[in-house]
Copies of this chain bind each other. A is one copy, B any other.
Amino acid sequence: MSNAAEEILTIFVISDSAGETATKLAQATMAQYPTVEFNLFRKTFMSDKAILLKALKEAKKLNAMILYTMINEELVQLIRDFCQESDLFGFDVLTAPVLEIEKRSGVAPTREPGALHHLNKNYFKRIEAMEFAVKYDDGKDPRGFLEADVVLLGVSRTSKTPLSLFLANKNLKVANLPLVPQAHIPKQLWEVDKKKIVGLTNDPNVLNGIRKERMIAYGLNPDTAYSDIDKIRAELEFANDLYEKLGCVVINVASLSIEETASMIMNALDLEDHSYYTTEND
C-alpha cells in the first residue's frame, strides 16, 4: 500500500456559475493541510446535462472529491446519484441553506444560475467602488476623501492599496493617503467624519523587515533611510499623533491579513457588505 500522504488529492469544484463560493470553500479546506499536495479543477458554467456528466466521469477517473453549487434541482440530483453510485465524496454547498429559506419564507427560489452575479444596481455600485479605489489610491486626489465610505491612512507598507481594493469588492468606496512626516496633510481630511477614518499602524520591527526585503527586491542596499528603525519609529509616531488628533479608529496590521483587517474595519465602522445582495426594492 502506498503512503496516502504522498499522493496528490484532487478536488473538483462544480458550479452552474463562476464557482466562487465552492472555490472559496475548497481553498479554506486545503489551507488546513499545508503538507498535502492538491489538484484543484474548476468546472464552471455547468448548466448542460451532458457536459456535467462528462465532468463527473472525469472526477470519477481521478477519484476526486466534489464540492458543488448548483441551483437546478435536476442537476443536483444527477450529481447526488452519480456520487452515490460511484462512491465519490460529493458535498452540496448550496441546497441546504436555499431550502431552509424556502421553508421559512414560503417563497420559492428563482433557481437562476449565477443569481449572485446579476448585473443589478449593487453590481454597478461595486464596479464604481473599484474604479473609485484606483482613482483615489495613494492620496492622488484628496477630493476623494469627502466622497469615500472609508479613508485609510498609514505609513508605507501598511497594506493601504490592497485593503482599498479588497473593500471595494464589498461595495465600499475607499480613498487612502500615505503618511510621511514631512508630508502635507490635505485640508479635506479634517472635514471627513472621523467615523469614516481608519489609521493603520504597524510594529517598527515588522516594517523594518518588510522594507529591507523590498529594497533587496529592488536590487538596492537594504539599509537605507527607508528601512532605518529610528526613521520608522519617527514615522509611526507622526502617524499615531495624527490619528489621536483625528480621533479615528487605529488598527495595527502587524500580524493581520487584508481579509482580517478588512473584517475589523467593517466591524469598527459598522459597515455591511452588500456587494452581492440586493432586494428588488433596492
Task: Indicate if the CB atoms of A36 and B159 lie closer than 8 Å.
Answer: no
Q: Given known contacts A4-B104, A27-B116, A104-B65, is B32 in contact with A98 (CB within 8 Å)?
A: yes
* Interface hits, A154-188 → B, CB 8 Å: 159, 161-162, 165-166, 168-169
In whole Å, how far is A99's beta carbon from the nearest beta carbon of chain B?
Answer: 10
Task: Indicate if the CB atoms of A34 and B97 lie closer than 8 Å.
Answer: no
Identical chains bound together, number: 2
Bound-complex Cα distance A33 to B109 (A) = 5
Task: Indicate if the CB atoms of A105 and B18 lie closer than 8 Å.
Answer: no
Task: Indicate if the CB atoms of A258 and B127 lie closer than 8 Å.
Answer: yes
Give A contacts to B, CB under 8 Å. Answer: 3-5, 7, 9, 17-21, 23-38, 40, 42, 44-45, 65, 67, 69, 71, 89, 91, 93-94, 96-98, 100-101, 104-107, 109-112, 114-119, 123, 126-127, 130-131, 133-134, 137, 159, 161-162, 165-166, 168-169, 255, 257-260, 262-263, 266-267, 272-273, 275-281
Contacts beyond the supplied A131-B162, A165-B168: 7 A-B pairs with Cβ under 8 Å: A5-B106, A9-B104, A29-B98, A33-B101, A40-B277, A89-B100, A127-B258
